[in-house]
Structure 1
Amino acid sequence: MKIHDVTQGTLEWHVLRSSHFTASEAPAMMGASKYMTRAELLRQKKTGLSPEVTPAKQELFDRGHAAEEAAREILAARIGEDLYPVTCSRGNLLASLDGMDMAEKVLFEHKLWNEKLAAQVRAEQLEAHYYWQLEQQLLVTGADKVIFVCSDGTEEHFVSMDYYAVPGRAEALAAGWEQFAADLEEQEAPAAKPVEKIGRAPEMLPAIHVEVTGMVKHSNLDQFRTLALEAIKNINTDLQDDQDFADAEKTMKWCTDVETRLSATKSHIMGQAQDIDAVIRTLDEVNEEARQVRLRLDRLVKNRKQEIRDKIVLDANDAFRKHLADLEASFGGRVRMPAVGIDVAGAIKGKKTITSLRDSADAELARAKVDASTIATSIKNNLATLNDLAEGYDFLFHDIQQLVLKDGEDLQAVISHRINEHKELEAKKLSEQLAASQPVAAAVVQTAAATEAAAVQPVKQQPPADDGQRIKLGDINSTLGFTVTAEFLRSLGFDAVDRKGNAVLYRSSDWPRICGALVQHINSVATQKAAA
Structure 2
Amino acid sequence: MQVHNVQQGTPEWHALRSSYFTASEAPAMMGASKYQTRTDLLTMKKTGIVPEVTPAQQAIFDRGHATEELARPLVEEMIGEELYPIVGTSGNLLASMDGATMLGDTLFEHKLWNERLVAQVRAGELEAHYYWQLEQQLLVSGAERVIFVCSDGTPEKFVHMEYQPVAGRREQLVAGWAQFEEDLGTFEVQEAKVEVTGAAPDQLPALRIDVTGMVTASNLDAFKAHALGVIGNINTQLSTDKDFADADATVKWCSEVEDKLKAAKEHALSQTESIDVLFKAIDDIAAETRRKRLELEKLVKARKDIIRSDIVMDAAKALQDHIDQINVTLGGKIRMPRVHADFAGVIKGKRTIDSLKEAADAELARAKIEASRIADGIRANLNSLRELAASHAFLFHDAQDLVLKANDDLVALIKVRINEHEQEQQAEQQRRDAELERQQAEQQAAQQQPVQEQVQAQPVVEQIHSPEPKPAATPITTAAQPTADDGQRIKLGDISTRLGFTLTADFLTSLGFEAVAQERSAKLYRASDFPRICAALINHIQAVQANRAAA
TM-score of the alignment, normalized to the shorter chain, above 0.5 = yes
CA deviation after TM superposition for structure 1 residue 231, in Å: 1.1
- SS in structure 2 at match of 1:274: coil
Give 2:519's aligned residue.
none
Q: Which amino acid aligns with 2:231?
A: I
Give 1:363's aligned residue.
362
- SS in structure 1 at match of 2:259: helix
Give 2:291's aligned residue.
292
Give 1:54's aligned residue.
54
Moved >6 Å (runs of 4+): 435-441, 443-446
| Aligned counterparts of 2:143 and 2:373: Cα–Cα separation in 1 | 23
Give 2:416's aligned residue.
417
- SS in structure 2 at match of 1:308: helix
CA deviation after TM superposition for structure 1 residue 435, in Å: 6.2
CA gap of 1:302–1:436, structure 2 versus 1, over 3 A, is: closer
- SS in structure 1 at match of 2:179: helix
Residue 255 (1) aligns with residue 283 (2) = no
CA deviation after TM superposition for structure 1 residue 293, in Å: 0.8
| 1:464-514 residue CA offsets vs partner (Å, 9 max, x unmatched) | xxxxxxxxxxxxxxxxxxxxxxxxxxxxxxxxxxxxxxxxxxxxxxxxxxx
- SS in structure 2 at match of 1:183: helix
Give 1:142's aligned residue.
142
CA deviation after TM superposition for structure 1 residue 55, in Å: 1.4
| Aligned counterparts of 2:269 and 2:500: Cα–Cα separation in 1 | 138
Give 1:188's aligned residue.
188
| Aligned counterparts of 1:289 and 1:422: Cα–Cα separation in 2 | 83
| 1:302-322 residue CA offsets vs partner (Å, 9 max, x unmatched) | 111111111111111111122
| Aligned counterparts of 1:206 and 1:434: Cα–Cα separation in 2 | 111
Higher RCO (CA 8 Å, separation ≥ 6 residues): 1
CA gap of 1:219–1:437, structure 2 versus 1, over 3 A, is: closer
CA deviation after TM superposition for structure 1 residue 448, in Å: 3.5
CA deviation after TM superposition for structure 1 residue 334, in Å: 2.1
Please, what is the CA RMSD of the aligned residues? 1.9
Q: Which amino acid aligns with 2:316?
A: N
| Aligned counterparts of 2:350 and 2:417: Cα–Cα separation in 1 | 53
Give 1:313's aligned residue.
312
CA deviation after TM superposition for structure 1 residue 380, in Å: 0.7
- SS in structure 2 at match of 1:33: coil
- SS in structure 2 at match of 1:52: coil
- SS in structure 2 at match of 1:449: coil
Is the radius of gyration larger for structure 1 or structure 2?
Answer: 2
| 1:431-474 residue CA offsets vs partner (Å, 9 max, x unmatched) | 55556777969x9899433268xxxxxxxxxxxxxxxxxxxxxx
CA gap of 1:421–1:226, structure 2 versus 1, over 3 A, is: same
- The one of 434, 448, 460 aligned to 2:501: 448
CA deviation after TM superposition for structure 1 residue 268, in Å: 0.8
Higher mean alpha-carbon deviation, 281-290 vs 61-70, is at: 281-290
CA deviation after TM superposition for structure 1 residue 403, in Å: 1.3
| Aligned counterparts of 1:451 and 1:172: Cα–Cα separation in 2 | 81
Give 2:223's aligned residue.
224
Give 2:123's aligned residue.
123
Give 1:509's aligned residue.
none
Give 1:106's aligned residue.
106
Task: Give the length in aligned residue pairs.
Answer: 450
Give 2:66's aligned residue.
66
| 1:231-259 residue CA offsets vs partner (Å, 9 max, x unmatched) | 11111110001110100010111111111
- SS in structure 1 at match of 2:270: helix
| 1:340-381 residue CA offsets vs partner (Å, 9 max, x unmatched) | 111100010111111101100111111111111100111011
CA deviation after TM superposition for structure 1 residue 384, in Å: 0.9
| Aligned counterparts of 1:450 and 1:228: Cα–Cα separation in 2 | 129
| Aligned counterparts of 1:451 and 1:360: Cα–Cα separation in 2 | 96
> Equivalent residues in 2 for 1:199-210 (5 A)?
199-210=198-209
Give 1:510's aligned residue.
none
CA deviation after TM superposition for structure 1 residue 43, in Å: 1.7
- SS in structure 1 at match of 2:161: strand
Residue 91 (1) aligns with residue 144 (2) = no
| Aligned counterparts of 1:274 and 1:426: Cα–Cα separation in 2 | 109
Give 2:28's aligned residue.
28
| Aligned counterparts of 1:289 and 1:424: Cα–Cα separation in 2 | 88
| Aligned counterparts of 1:229 and 1:433: Cα–Cα separation in 2 | 100
CA deviation after TM superposition for structure 1 residue 335, in Å: 1.1
| Aligned counterparts of 2:258 and 2:436: Cα–Cα separation in 1 | 109
Give 2:478's aligned residue.
none
Give 2:242's aligned residue.
243
CA deviation after TM superposition for structure 1 residue 116, in Å: 1.6
- SS in structure 2 at match of 1:229: helix
TM-score by length of 2: 0.78
Q: Which amino acid aligns with 1:450?
A: L
| Aligned counterparts of 2:124 and 2:134: Cα–Cα separation in 1 | 13
Q: Which amino acid aligns with 2:121?
A: V
Give 2:16's aligned residue.
16
Q: Which amino acid aligns with 1:84?
A: Y
Give 2:392's aligned residue.
393
Give 1:527's aligned residue.
none
Give 1:166's aligned residue.
166
CA gap of 1:272–1:422, structure 2 versus 1, over 3 A, is: same
Q: Which amino acid aligns with 1:90?
A: S
Give 2:535's aligned residue.
none
| Aligned counterparts of 2:222 and 2:57: Cα–Cα separation in 1 | 54
- SS in structure 2 at match of 1:7: coil
> Equivalent residues in 2 for 1:146-157 (5 A)?
146-157=146-157
| Aligned counterparts of 1:449 and 1:358: Cα–Cα separation in 2 | 93
| Aligned counterparts of 2:436 and 2:316: Cα–Cα separation in 1 | 67
| Aligned counterparts of 2:31 and 2:111: Cα–Cα separation in 1 | 20
Q: Which amino acid aligns with 2:371?
A: A
Identity %: 56
- SS in structure 2 at match of 1:351: coil
Give 1:468's aligned residue.
none
- SS in structure 2 at match of 1:448: coil
Residue 80 (1) aligns with residue 80 (2) = yes
CA gap of 1:437–1:251, structure 2 versus 1, over 3 A, is: closer
Q: Which amino acid aligns with 1:348?
A: I
> Equivalent residues in 2 for 1:262-411 (5 A)?
262-411=261-410
CA deviation after TM superposition for structure 1 residue 7, in Å: 1.2
Q: Which amino acid aligns with 1:367?
A: R
CA gap of 1:249–1:451, structure 2 versus 1, over 3 A, is: farther
| Aligned counterparts of 1:190 and 1:16: Cα–Cα separation in 2 | 26
CA deviation after TM superposition for structure 1 residue 332, in Å: 0.7
| Aligned counterparts of 1:123 and 1:20: Cα–Cα separation in 2 | 33
| Aligned counterparts of 1:77 and 1:449: Cα–Cα separation in 2 | 96
| Aligned counterparts of 1:420 and 1:367: Cα–Cα separation in 2 | 41
| Aligned counterparts of 2:401 and 2:93: Cα–Cα separation in 1 | 34
CA gap of 1:212–1:433, structure 2 versus 1, over 3 A, is: closer
| Aligned counterparts of 2:150 and 2:90: Cα–Cα separation in 1 | 27
| Aligned counterparts of 2:504 and 2:330: Cα–Cα separation in 1 | 61
Residue 41 (1) aligns with residue 94 (2) = no
- SS in structure 2 at match of 1:393: helix
| Aligned counterparts of 1:398 and 1:225: Cα–Cα separation in 2 | 79
| 1:262-311 residue CA offsets vs partner (Å, 9 max, x unmatched) | 11111111111234232222222221111111111011111111111111
- SS in structure 2 at match of 1:236: coil
Q: Which amino acid aligns with 2:264?
A: T
- SS in structure 1 at match of 2:390: coil
Structure 1 gap segments, 5+ residues each: 453-532
CA gap of 1:450–1:303, structure 2 versus 1, over 3 A, is: same
CA deviation after TM superposition for structure 1 residue 52, in Å: 2.6
| Aligned counterparts of 2:231 and 2:301: Cα–Cα separation in 1 | 20
| Aligned counterparts of 1:280 and 1:68: Cα–Cα separation in 2 | 75
Give 1:213's aligned residue.
212
| Aligned counterparts of 2:269 and 2:501: Cα–Cα separation in 1 | 138
